[in-house]
Amino acid sequence: MLDEELRKGAKPLYELPARVLAGRGITGDALTGVGLMVGVLCLGAISLGLNAAALALWLLNRLVDGLDGAVARLRGETSEFGAFFDIVADFFVYGGFLVALAIQHPGSRLALVVLFLAYYLNGTAFLALSGILEKLKRERLTERGLHFRRSLTEGFETILAGILFLVFPGHVSPIAWIFAAMVFVSVAQRVLDGRRILGDG
């Protein structure tokens, strides 16, 4: 919901490290790969109940995720593969985060499975609409590689949910139920958005 405002606000903060990395020959795709490896370490830490380490790795993963696109743009190397790799890495970490939580908190598995379903539907609606809009050559609303349209839960809210899961391990189930409800609202928003834009009905 707040992604674009936060991205614009954080852009000056990303500029210096992005310039340093780009100047040293590091590519956006390489950073995406590093972020994915950090994400895998985060999932392992969650599975083992090492929440403090997992929290640090989660925030580092999200920081690198914000840097890869900035570096690619500075190097003039933005590509369709870069956008593809980035979203696959994001979805792997997001889904894996819930699986790792389910390993750590077996009593919360129902809530986490429902949240996983919400993620699945939201990701499907997002990618399907983005693909169709790309096919129709509609103008992108952001500088990112896919058609991102507003919804209640976006990247910032997912980061916040991850933080809450790790800081309040005794409340995983209620956090998951509440966030699942929010993500289902996002699914409905995307479906209605698609119907309005594509004019089917």
The pLDDT assigned to 6 comes to 61
The pLDDT assigned to 77 comes to 77
The values of phi and psi at residue 149, to 5°, are -120, 150
- d(CA 34, CA 65) in angstroms, rounded, equals 9
- d(CA 172, CA 179) in angstroms, rounded, equals 10
What angle (nearest 5°) sits at the alpha carbon of residue 61, between those of residues 163 and 37? 130
The pLDDT assigned to 32 comes to 94
The pLDDT assigned to 59 comes to 96
Reduced DSSP (H G I as helix, E B as strand, rest coil) percent helix, strand, coil of the chain, to 5: 80, 0, 20
Contact residues for 187 (Cβ-Cβ < 8 A; gap 6+): 118, 121, 122, 125
Domains in the chain (CATH in brackets) are 3-198 (1.20.120.1760)
The pLDDT assigned to 199 comes to 76
Report yes or no: 55 and 167 within 8 Å, Cβ to Cβ: yes
- d(CA 17, CA 51) in angstroms, rounded, equals 27
The pLDDT assigned to 201 comes to 44
pLDDT tens digit at each of 201 positions of the chain: 655 666 666 667 778 888 889 888 889 899 999 999 999 999 999 999 999 999 999 999 999 998 888 898 888 877 788 889 999 999 999 999 999 999 999 999 999 999 999 999 999 998 888 888 878 777 666 555 566 667 788 888 999 999 999 999 999 999 999 999 999 999 999 899 888 888 754
Rounded to two decimals, the pTM is 0.88
- d(CA 28, CA 31) in angstroms, rounded, equals 5
Angle between helices 155-167 and 3-23 (to 10 degrees): 90
The pLDDT assigned to 138 comes to 73
Q: Could you tell me if residue 49 is left (phi over 0), alpha (psi between -120 and 50 degrees) or otherwise beta?
A: left
